[in-house]
Amino acid sequence: MNEPTLHEAIRPEFHPRVHSVMIAVHSGLAVAILVGGTERFSQPSYGALLNMMGGRSWPWGAWIGICAILMTMRNSHLDALGTLSACVWMNLWMAGFFVAAAGNPLAVATAGVAYGGYGALNAALFAQKVGELRKARAIRKGAG
């Protein structure tokens, strides 16, 4: 039995639902990070992530918030950009938690697994969006 590929992992009828859920997740993270500030980032778990941004948390919140906004755009290219950028954000957070856990036994690693899962969902959504863009381009070329 063949396992589904990443592109096939989200069936077309589920794509809009998963997409909406991920927009809500990204928006919630953005608000929590922007409102909570660095006080919300406990050491050592978030240490690597704070160090990447010079001790500031707002760039992380702004980044994922912009991703959520881009994902709401009707322009498919902007939506794809937001989805890909959110995938990168999630994978950086996953790596940050795993680096912290490897370097300090008091660091929390379970959040890294969650961010990895979110990153995989974003990757599947991005693959779906790229497939839709390619199909639309082929239709335009065929009609022209």
- Average pLDDT score over the chain: 86
Note the pLDDT of residue 90.
Answer: 96
pLDDT tens readout for residues 65-121: 999 999 999 898 999 999 999 999 999 999 988 888 888 888 777 888 999 999 999
Q: What gap in Å lies between CA 132 and CA 137, rounded to an integer?
A: 9
Residue 142's pLDDT is what? 80
pLDDT at site 117: 93
30 and 62 Cβ atoms separated by less than 8 Å: yes
pTM to 2 decimal places: 0.83
Checking 20-26 for CB contacts under 8 A at 24+ apart, the result is 22/71, 22/83, 22/86, 22/118, 22/121, 22/122, 22/125, 23/68, 23/71, 23/72, 25/118, 26/64, 26/65, 26/67, 26/68, 26/71, 26/86
Residue 131, pLDDT score = 86
